A and B are shown apart, each in its own frame.
Chain A
Amino acid sequence: NAGVTQTPKFQVLKTGQSMTLQCAQDMNHEYMSWYRQDPGMGLRLIHYSVGAGITDQGEVPNGYNVSRSTTEDFPLRLLSAAPSQTSVYFCASSDPLAGEQFFGPGTRLTVL
C-alpha cells in the first residue's frame, strides 16, 4: 500500500514551458486534491475532484488544469509556466466521511 505518490520530486522549468505533475493513490479514495504551499501562506487548494470524470476549482485555479479519468490518477497540468507558480505542490486523497486527507511527498517546482 503506497498511499499517495507524486512525480517528479523536483522540477525546473523556464517561463512559458508546460508540464504535468503526476499523482496517484491506491486507497480507492473518491476525493483527490491539489494544493500549493508557499511560505507564510499555508496550503491553498488549486483543484479538486470528487470522483472520476468530475473536477472543480479551488482557491487558486488560474494557470492550472486537471482531469480525472480514473479513480487512481489525478494529474495537474501547468499550461504556460510563470515564476509565480514556483512553489511546492502537494496532492492529497481522502475519504469524505473520515474527513482526513492523505498527502503525497510533494513536488518542488521552480520556474525561471
Chain B
Amino acid sequence: AQSVTQLDSQVPVFEEAPVELRCNYSSSVSVYLFWYVQYPNQGLQLLLKYLSGSTLVKGINGFEAEFNKSQTSFHLRKPSVHISDTAEYFCAVTTYNNNDMRFGAGTRLTVKP
C-alpha cells in the first residue's frame, strides 16, 4: 500500500517569512497527492491536490506544492506566512479509483509575530 512521511513534526517560523513543509511518499503505482490543513478543534480542509498535469499546484491561502516524481516528494510552500496560518498540515496519498487514503503524521506550523 502507499504511504506518506512528513519529515518535520513541528516548524516554527516568524511572520512574513517563507516556509516549506516536506512530504515524501511511497507507492508502486501512480499517485494522487493532497495537502490538508486542520485549524484547532476543527476538521480537515483541502489546501491543494495533484491528480495529473502540471507538477506545480496552487491552492488556497497562497500555498503551492510541487510534485517531484523522481524524488517522490510533494513539498508545500508559502512565500510569506501569516499568524493565521498557524495550524497542523497533513500530506496524504491515494491512487486512482482507490478509497484508501493514507496520511502523514502531520506538521504543526507555528507562526510567531
Name A's B-contacting residues (CB within 8 A): 31, 33, 35, 40-45, 48, 50, 58, 90, 92, 94, 96-101, 103-106
Contact = CB atoms under 8 A, between A and B. Distances in A.
Given A33-B99, A90-B44, A100 B90 contact: no
B43 A43 contact: no
Interface residues of B, number: 26
A15 B49 CA distance: 40
Interface of B: 4, 6, 9, 32, 34, 36, 42-46, 49, 51, 90, 92, 94, 97-106
Nearest to B91: A42
A101 B55 CA distance: 21
Contacts of B51: 98-99
B95 to A, nearest CB: 9
Given A99-B34, A104-B43, A106-B43, A40 B49 contact: no
